[in-house]
C-alpha cells in the first residue's frame, strides 16, 4: 500500500530543519543571551514534550489545545511560543500591560489548556488571575525567587526538565488554528482573531521569498507577541535561517545604537518608531548604514519619515507593508523608490499591490466594485484570510462576507485604486485609529468611559495627529464638570495604557451629527482651535 506523506503546517517545522542542518547558527539574541537553532529547537521540543506528557493535556481527536503565552519579548518568550507550536497547539499571546479584568475576560474566552510564562508574566499570576488559569502552568527562565502561591497548581520549571531527544514538531494541518491574536473590540471586549496554520505558513514562506531574506541576515524585533507584526519578525527570520535580534522594550529609543552595535541588516517596525527616532534627532545621515532591508508596516508611512530614513539607511531597500490582523499580518506591499508613490492629497506612501496569494478590491456601499480612482471600502480575499473571530459567529459573518461565491474581509479602510493598479489608504470608514502603532477602537474606550462616569453621552478622538499619526487620545463627557483624575484612575483598571485618554474634558453640550451620533470631527476641530 502506498502512503502519502502529509505536509506538516506546524510553524516550528522550519526551525526544526535548521536545527538539523545548521545547529550552530544563531537563531535569537537578546540582552546578552544567545540561542543557536540547535539550542532553540532543543528547548522548545523539551517544553512541548512536557506539555504533551502531562495528564492535563487534552487528547481528543480533532481538538487543538490552546496555550497562553504570558511573556514580554525576549528569548524566554520565543522559547515559550515555539514550545507551544512544537506541541501542535494554538498559541495565544497575552499582553502583559493590560488590566487584570481585561486579562480575565481574555482567559474566559480562550479556554486555555496551559499557560507558559516568563519572569515578568509570573509576577502577574496572583489572586484572581491565578485562579482563572488552566491547571498546567509552565515557567521559562531562571527558577523564581519567591514561593509559588498556589499549592494545588504546581508550577513546572522548564530549566529543571531533563533534556529530550530532538523529535519533529507535532503534525498540524492547514485548517488547525496556529494562533489567536486579540485586537480592540467596539463593544468594550477585545476580539480574538483566529489564524489557521495554512494561512500562517503561506504568509511566512511567501514573504521570506518576496523580501529575499537570507540565512546571513540579522533582523530586528521591535514588537510584543500580542501584535501580529511579531509573527512576521519571528517567523520570516527563522524561515530564512537568519538571526532575530530582540530590541528590549526598555531601550527602544536606543534602536539606532542597537542596530549599529549588532550590525543588523534587516529593520522591522511600525513607522511611528522611526518617526520618534527622527524627532529625537538620532537619524543622522548614514547612522543605519548596515541595513540592507527595511520593513515598515501596520500604519500609514509618512513621506517625511521615508526621506529621513533614506538618508540614515542609504544601503537599505524600503518596503511599506499593509494589512489587518484578520488577513495574516500583511497582504499588500509597496517598494519605496524615488519619486515616492504618494497617496493623492496626503503625505503618506501608497500601500501598493496585493502580495502573492492575496487579492484586493475597492467597493461601494452595495459591495459593487468601483471605478479606478474612486474611493470606497477596501476588501481583501485570498490565502491569508482569518478563520474569523473567536466565539463570535455573527461578527465573523458580517466582517467576512461571501460575495459572488468568494470570501472577503471588510477592512473598514477607505481606499482607492489608481490607474496603475496601486492601492491607496485614505483613512477609516469607522472609528478605528492607530495610536503609536496600536490598533484602537474609539468605541471601546467610550464603552468603558460610560460605565465609569455614568454618562451615556461620551466621545473619544485620536489627538493630536502629527505626520498623519495619532499621538494620543482625548475623551469628552457630557457633564458640567468632571473629576478627570478620578475617572482616569478608574479607566486604568479597565484599559491598557495605550488606550488611556491623556485628557478627559467635560462639555455641557456635545456636538452631534445629523443622525444623532457624537460628531468626532467637530470634537477634533474643537481641540485644534484650542491648541496653543
Ligand atoms: P492591525 O490589525 O493592528 O494590523 O491594523 C490594521 C489597520 O492598520 C489597517 O486596517 C489600516 O487601517 C492600518 N494599516 C496597516 N498597515 C498600513 C499601512 N501600511 N498604511 C496605512 N494604514 C495601514
- For the segment 135-193, what is each residue's pLDDT rounded down to a tens digit? 899 999 887 767 777 777 788 888 777 778 899 999 999 999 999 999 998 888 899 99
Q: Ligand 1: distance of its center to the CA of 478 in Å?
A: 31
Q: Residue for cell digits 515578568? A: 120
Q: Which helix (H) or strand (E) holds 306?
A: helix 303-312
Q: Ligand 1: distance of its center to the CA of 295 in Å?
A: 14
* Atom 14 of ligand 1, nearest CA residue: 299
Mean pLDDT of 213-223: 97
Q: Ligand 1: distance of its center to the CA of 437 in Å?
A: 9
- Residues spanned by CATH 3.40.50.12780 within the chain? 202-428
Substitution candidate for ligand 1 out of 185, 296, 299 with most atoms within 8 A of CB? 299
Tell if the pTM clears 0.85, that is, is over it.
Answer: yes
- Residues spanned by CATH 3.40.50.980 within the chain? 19-172
* Atom 21 of ligand 1, nearest CA residue: 300
Please list the residues that pair with 294 across neighbouring strands. 267, 318
Contact between residue 43 and residue 35 where contact means Cβ atoms under 8 Å apart: yes
In 3D space, the residue among 45, 51, 23, 21 whose CA is nearest the CA of residue 35 turns out to be 23
- Spatial separation of the C-alpha atoms in residues 85 and 116, rounded to whole Å: 12
Q: Ligand 1: distance of its center to the CA of 323 in Å?
A: 5
- Spatial separation of the C-alpha atoms in residues 211 and 208, rounded to whole Å: 6
In 3D space, the residue among 430, 90, 70 whose CA is nearest the CA of residue 224 turns out to be 70
- Spatial separation of the C-alpha atoms in residues 73 and 391, rounded to whole Å: 28
Given phi > 0 = left and psi -120 to 50 = alpha, else beta, which region is 412? left
Parallel, antiparallel, or unpaired for β 423-428 and 409-417? antiparallel
pLDDT at 329 over 60: yes
Model confidence pLDDT, tens digit, residues 437-446: 899 999 999 9
Contact between residue 215 and residue 237 where contact means Cβ atoms under 8 Å apart: no
202-428 belongs to which CATH class?
Answer: alpha beta
Contact between residue 331 and residue 183 where contact means Cβ atoms under 8 Å apart: no
Residue 505: how many other CB atoms lie within 10 Å: 16
432-530 belongs to which CATH class?
Answer: alpha beta
Give residues (CB < 6 A) around ligand 1: 183, 297-301, 320-325, 351, 411, 413, 425, 428, 434, 439
Q: What is the DSSP code (8-state) at residue 518?
A: B
Q: What is the DSSP code (8-state) at residue 264?
A: -
- Residues spanned by CATH 3.30.300.30 within the chain? 432-530
Q: Ligand 1: distance of its center to the CA of 289 in Å?
A: 28
Mean pLDDT of 75-91: 97
Q: What is the mean pLDDT of the chain?
A: 93
3 state SS of 165: coil
pLDDT at 493 over 70: yes
pLDDT at 1 over 90: no
Share of the chain above pLDDT 90, in %: 81
Phi, psi at 86, each rounded to 5°: -55, -35
- Spatial separation of the C-alpha atoms in residues 470 and 260, rounded to whole Å: 29
Model confidence pLDDT, tens digit, residues 14-29: 999 999 999 999 999 9
pLDDT of residue 501: 97
Confidence bin at 454 (pLDDT 50/70/90): confident
* Atom 13 of ligand 1, nearest CA residue: 299
Please list the residues that pair with 315 across neighbouring strands. none
19-172 belongs to which CATH class?
Answer: alpha beta
- Spatial separation of the C-alpha atoms in residues 242 and 441, rounded to whole Å: 36
Dmax over Cα atoms in the chain, in whole Å?
81
Q: Ligand 1: distance of its center to the CA of 170 in Å?
A: 33
Amino acid at each position: 500500500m502506498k502512503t502519502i506523506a502529509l505536509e506538516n503546517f506546524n510553524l516550528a517545522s522550519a526551525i526544526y530543519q535548521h536545527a538539523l542542518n545548521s545547529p550552530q547558527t544563531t537563531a535569537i539574541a537578546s540582552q546578552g543571551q544567545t540561542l543557536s537553532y540547535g539550542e532553540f529547537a532543543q528547548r522548545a521540543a523539551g517544553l512541548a514534550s512536557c506539555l504533551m506528557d502531562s495528564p492535563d493535556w487534552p487528547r481528543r481527536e480533532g481538538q487543538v489545545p490552546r496555550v497562553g503565552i504570558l511573556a514580554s519579548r525576549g528569548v524566554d518568550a520565543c522559547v515559550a511560543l515555539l514550545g507551544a507550536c512544537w506541541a501542535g497547539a494554538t498559541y495565544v499571546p497575552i499582553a502583559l500591560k493590560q488590566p487584570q479584568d481585561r486579562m480575565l475576560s481574555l482567559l474566559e474566552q480562550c479556554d486555555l489548556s496551559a499557560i507558559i510564562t516568563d519572569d515578568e508574566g509570573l509576577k502577574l499570576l496572583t489572586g484572581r488571575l491565578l485562579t482563572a488559569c488552566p491547571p498546567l502552568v509552565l515557567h521559562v527562565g531562571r527558577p523564581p525567587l519567591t514561593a509559588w502561591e498556589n499549592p494545588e497548581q504546581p508550577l513546572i520549571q522548564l530549566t529543571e526538565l531533563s533534556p529530550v531527544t530532538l523529535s519533529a514538531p507535532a503534525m498540524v494541518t492547514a485548517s488547525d488554528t496556529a494562533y489567536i491574536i486579540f485586537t480592540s473590540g467596539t463593544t468594550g471586549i477585545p476580539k480574538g482573531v483566529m489564524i489557521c496554520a495554512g494561512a500562517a505558513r503561506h504568509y511566512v514562506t511567501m514573504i521570506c521569498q518576496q523580501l529575499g531574506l537570507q540565512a546571513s541576515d540579522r533582523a530586528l524585533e521591535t514588537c510584543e507577541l500580542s501584535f501580529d507584526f511579531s509573527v512576521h519578525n519571528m517567523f520570516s527570520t527563522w524561515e530564512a535561517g537568519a538571526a532575530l535580534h530582540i530590541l528590549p522594550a526598555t531601550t527602544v529609543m536606543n534602536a539606532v545604537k542597537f542596530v549599529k552595535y549588532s550590525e543588523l541588516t534587516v529593520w522591522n517596525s511600525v513607522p511611528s518608531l522611526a518617526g520618534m527616532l527622527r524627532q529625537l534627532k538620532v537619524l543622522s545621515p548614514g547612522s543605519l548604514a548596515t541595513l540592507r532591508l527595511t520593513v515598515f508596516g501596520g500604519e500609514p508611512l509618512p513621506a517625511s519619515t521615508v526621506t529621513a530614513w533614506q538618508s540614515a539607511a542609504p544601503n537599505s531597500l524600503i518596503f511599506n507593508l499593509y494589512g489587518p490582523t484578520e488577513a495574516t499580518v500583511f497582504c499588500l506591499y509597496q517598494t519605496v523608490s524615488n519619486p515616492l508613490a504618494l497617496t493623492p492629497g496626503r503625505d503618506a506612501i501608497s500601500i501598493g499591490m496585493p502580495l502573492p496569494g492575496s487579492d484586493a478590491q475597492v467597493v461601494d456601499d452595495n459591495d459593487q466594485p468601483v471605478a479606478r480612482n474612486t474611493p470606497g471600502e477596501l476588501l481583501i480575499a485570498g490565502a491569508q484570510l482569518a478563520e474569523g473571530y473567536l466565539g463570535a459567529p455573527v461578527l465573523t459573518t458580517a466582517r467576512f462576507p461571501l460575495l459572488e461565491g468568494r470570501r472577503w474581509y471588510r477592512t473598514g479602510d477607505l481606499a482607492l485604486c489608481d490607474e496603475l493598479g496601486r492601492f491607496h489608504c485614505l483613512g477609516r470608514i469607522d472609528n478605528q485609529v492607530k495610536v503609536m502603532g496600536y490598533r484602537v477602537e474609539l468605541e471601546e474606550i467610550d464603552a468603558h468611559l460610560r460605565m465609569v462616569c455614568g454618562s451615556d453621552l461620551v466621545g473619544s478622538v485620536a489627538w493630536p495627529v502629527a505626520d498623519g499619526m495619532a499621538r494620543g487620545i482625548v475623551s469628552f463627557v457630557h457633564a458640567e464638570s468632571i473629576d478627570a483624575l478620578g475617572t482616569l484612575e478608574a479607566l486604568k483598571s479597565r484599559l491598557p495604557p495605550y488606550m488611556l485618554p491623556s485628557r478627559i474634558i467635560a462639555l455641557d453640550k456635545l456636538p452631534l451629527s445629523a443622525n444623532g451620533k457624537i460628531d468626532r470631527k467637530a470634537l477634533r476641530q474643537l481641540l485644534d482651535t484650542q491648541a496653543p
